[in-house]
Amino acid sequence: MKKIELLAPAGSYEKAKIAFKYGADAVYCGTSSLSLRTRADMDNDDLIKTIKYAHSIGKRVHVTLNIFAWDDKYEEIIEMAKILNEVKPDAIIAADGGVIEVLKEYAPNVPIHVSTQANIVSLRDCNFWYKNGAKRVIMAREMNKEQLRYIMENKPKDLEVEMFGHGSICFAFSGRCFLSDFLCGRSANLGDCSQSCRWSYNLYAEEKNNPGGLMPIEINEHGTSIFSSKDLCLLKEIPEIIDMGIDSLKIEGRLKTEYYIASVINVYRNAIDDYMKNPDNYDYTKYLKEIEKVKTREFTTFYFNDRNNRNVQDYSGRQYNENYEFGGKVVEYDEEKSTIEIKNKLQIGDELEIIVPFKLEPIVFKIEKLWNYDTEEEIESISPGVKGQKVKMKLPIKCEKDWILRRKK
């Protein structure tokens, strides 16, 4: 059974470190101006630092240059290609044919992965990109398992295949969308998507006998979510994905928090490893139970099992998890008073969970004492007034730096 790569999002250097700590084999990241995430917190120096750190611990970095570029972008793209040719990430992800030509000329030392934005949906697509220098193709999320299996059985043996396993799904076909640009003046195809398809909308019908009169069409108390998709979750399908020989399973979410990345990567790491060790006893429900703690909307398998699946839209209007939230991050462990960077309000009596890397079930405990970080005076509660605010508390087990704490609401 071939080992599958677990590929995590990294919107910053710190998030990349969290992803690796919780079991990612590789991360994908990019600078804000040339990848499809303009609000990712990563400049050239952070990108180079991430690559060097990953290689020092035996991990991999895939750099995203997957915008659809206007002519005035190519000078910047060429300069970035030259930089990447020197620092040698493990791959560059691109979708635009012109960008790929630049990479072949100015970054010949770095393998090319063709982005899902290229809408790769067939064996002929795969063969085309393979003949044009691609080492890997990232399949469109609209494909089902029969189509994927056919490609895996007939593609060139040394062409790698990557697919999405978890995260947001674009309303438009593989993400080529003009909603954000039309409504907000922010182009999704240049990495500045406002996620307009995830807003809550109210739908009205014009009254036939009352020109100009509008009658609301209600689905539930939250209004009508005519675009908004549920989040992709393929935990149940892990056995099929691994058995068909997929090379890399990708988690979406470069703009997500460290808490989200740690939670999701840890669950998928455990699921993959457990199936590889004991395929006959794989039980997806225990992984699903754990990942429910971090979800902000309902889950769907999208078209993986059925191309006619219509159970993909989310009508809840919910944008947050009702039961759990990011509590904090371990800065320094001490047997009596560990330092925690807080992310939400903490108070004595709160139930926290320590998300332990490579262990599915968290360590649950209640806060018994809190100490002011500066004065070490005992306090009843603390709220995150400034970025990086810290508090001291006693932890029930020895923890490493950057371990994540989840708070039960």
Report how far Cα 199 is from the mean position of its chain's Cα atoms: 19
Lowest pLDDT segment from 208-217, 294-303, 349-358: 208-217
Does residue 194 form part of some domain? Answer: no
Is pLDDT larger for residue 176 or for residue 148?
A: 148
Q: What is the arithmetic mean of pLDDT over 60-76?
A: 94
Q: Give 385's pLDDT tier (boundaries 50, 70, 90).
A: confident
Both 350 and 286 in a single domain?
no
Domain ranges, residue 271: 5-173+229-300
Structure letter (DSSP) for residue 320? S
DSSP assignment letter at 342: E
Q: How far is CA 196 from the centre of its chain?
A: 18
> Domain containing 144 — which CATH number?
3.20.20.70
Q: What is the mean pLDDT of residues 237-241?
A: 98
- CATH number of the domain to which 392 belongs: 2.40.30.10
145 found inside a domain? yes
Any bridge partners for residue 194, and if so which?
A: none
Three-class secondary structure of residue 30 per DSSP? coil
Residue 184 lies in a domain: no
Backbone angles phi, psi at 38, to 5 degrees: -70, -20
Residue 166 shares a structural domain with residue 46: yes
Q: Per the domain annotation, does 316 fall within a domain?
A: no
3-state helix, strand, coil in the chain (%, to 5): 30, 25, 45
Both 22 and 82 in one domain: the answer is yes
Q: Is 204 part of a structural domain of the chain?
A: no
Same domain for 376 and 264: no
Report the C-alpha gap between 239 and 334 in whole angstroms. Answer: 41
How many domains are contained in the chain? 2
Phi/psi of residue 149, nearest 5 degrees: -65, -40
Q: Verify that 235 and 342 share a domain, yes or no.
A: no
State how far the Cα of 357 lies from the Cα of 287, in Å rounded to an integer.
14
Mean residue pLDDT of the chain comes to: 89
d(CA 298, CA 309): 15
- Average pLDDT on 385-391 reads 90
Q: For helices 44-56 and 13-21, what crossing angle results, to 10°?
A: 20
- Per the CB < 8 A criterion, the answer to whether 328 and 368 are in contact is no
E strand or H helix at 18:
helix 13-21
pLDDT value of residue 348: 98
User: Same domain for 73 and 155?
Assistant: yes
- The answer for 175, left when phi > 0, alpha when psi is -120 to 50, beta otherwise, is left
DSSP state of 201: B
CA–CA separation, 228 vs 15, rounded Å? 26
> Does 342 map to a domain?
yes
Residue 407 host element (H or E): strand 404-408
Same-domain status, 32 and 147: yes
DSSP string, 32-43: TTTSS-TT----
Cα–Cα dist 359/266, whole Å: 7
Asked if residue 318 is part of any domain, the answer here is no
Q: Which residues make Cβ contacts (< 8 Å) with residue 299, sequence separation at least 6?
A: 230, 231, 232, 233, 288
Judge if 280 and 333 occupy the same domain.
Answer: no
pLDDT of the residue at 322: 83
Nearest to 346 by CA among 386, 391, 299, 397: 391
Q: Is residue 191 part of a domain?
A: no
**Looking at residue 343, what is its pLDDT?**
95
What's residue 319's pLDDT? 62
